[in-house]
Amino acid sequence: MKITNHVSITLPALHGNEGFARAAVAAFCAPLSPTLEEINDIKTAVSEAVTNVIVHAYPGTSGNVELTVRIFDDRVIDIVVADQGTGMSNVEEARKPFFTTKSQEEHSGMGFTIMEAFTDKIEILSEKGRGTSISMRKELKNA
Amino acid sequence: MKYRSEYLKDCITVMPEGDLDAESARETREYLDKLIDGYRFDTFIIDFAKVDFMDSTGIGVLLGRYKRIKALGADLCVTNVRPQVDKVFRISGLYQIIKAVSV
Ligand SMILES: Nc1ncnc2c1ncn2[C@@H]1O[C@H](COP(=O)(O)OP(=O)(O)O)[C@@H](O)[C@H]1O
Ligand SMILES: [Mg+2]
């Protein structure tokens, strides 16, 4: 596969930026003529990953969301959402539907389930105290 | 996020407008809770016609209101759910407890 376009955005992990992040990725992918469903899938997955950085990655401190989008052969979209925050000690547990460490704030624990359902592939790398990196792939069908 | 609501014959209908995400979750929760606390009703309908986007933060808001409304012996329903929100509802199993109605 040949990389045909890419973009990197660094932004502070603050509420308000989740909307910008999903709109920015959608706009970047728009020239590939995705279907409305594909664009919505991408927006939803990006929103979940970026929201997790804003909500979970930097408890009591501040930090950045690092968002990278790479497009291969004008058809395959790789999205990486990374932070240098608190990390997770048990990724398998975190991926389970309804698992949340913030139930008292009504977080649903469905973020990873939605990321998995709305993309073709997801890879989660996390190290306690070092940070987390979520890689998601979406292949456009008719491109 | 903007909200409109209507109270008619034991039924409250709320029409939010905008994206339901982590940024708007708190104000949405507060708006809905004010209605839940302020009126007597049998049915609480959220009209999603003007919500183009919702993520799992919205699921948390809806489940929280569902529990409160259920505890009062009333029903929570949704209507006019658009495609992106519909997919989030289907994948999370939310339709198993929050019924979609047509109004
Ligand atoms: N970037 C992150 N940094 C640290 N912890 C995270 C991150 N993303 C997710 N988590 C952990 O994984 C759990 C599950 O995430 P998710 O499925 O999105 O549910 P929710 O965000 O509703 O809690 C979170 O409660 C949190 O403990
Ligand atoms: Mg989440």
Which ligand approaches the C-alpha of residue A103 most closely?
1
- Chain A 82-111, residues with CB within 8 Å of chain B CB atoms: 97, 105-111
Which CATH number do you get for residue A121?
A: 3.30.565.10
Q: Which ligand is nearest to the CA of A105?
A: 1
Give the relative orientation of helices B83-92 and A36-52 as an angle to the nearest 10 degrees. Answer: 60
- Going through chain B in order, the beta strands assigned E by DSSP cover 2-8, 11-20, 43-47, 50-54, 75-79, 99-100
pLDDT per residue as tens digits for the range B4-51? 999 998 999 999 999 999 999 999 999 999 999 999 999 999 999 999
Position B103 pLDDT exceeds 90: no
* Ligand 1: lining residues by beta carbon, under 6 Å: A 48, 52-53, 55-57, 83, 85-88, 94, 99-102, 107-112, 132; B 56
Number of other CB atoms surrounding residue A128 within 10 Å: 11
Q: Which amino acid is at A126?
A: S
**Once rounded to an integer, what is the mean pLDDT over residues B71-87?**
98
Q: Please give the DSSP secondary-structure letter assigned to residue B94.
A: G
Q: How far is CA A63 from the centre of its chain?
A: 16
Give per-residue pLDDT as tens, A30-64.
999 999 999 999 999 999 999 999 999 999 999 99
Number of domains in chain A: 1
CB B79 within 8 A of CB B102: yes
Paired strand residues for A42: none
Q: What is the mean pLDDT of residues A91-118?
A: 96
**Residue A143 reports pLDDT greater than 70:** no
User: Domain range holding A82?
Assistant: 3-139
Cβ–Cβ contact B94 with A under 8 A: no
A9: confidence class by pLDDT, cuts 50, 70, 90: very high
Residue A142 has pLDDT above 80, yes or no: no
The overall average pLDDT reported for chain A is 97
Categorize the per-residue pLDDT at A103 as very low, low, confident or very high, splitting at 50, 70 and 90.
Answer: confident
Which chain B residue lies closest to A100 (C-alpha atoms)?
B60
What pLDDT does A79 receive?
A: 98
* Percent over 70 (pLDDT), chain A: 99
DSSP state of A120: S
Round to whole Å and give the CA distance between A42 and B87: 13
Q: Domain B2-100 sits in which CATH superfamily? A: STAS domain (3.30.750.24)
Put simply, whether the predicted model's pTM sits higher than 0.95 gets the answer yes
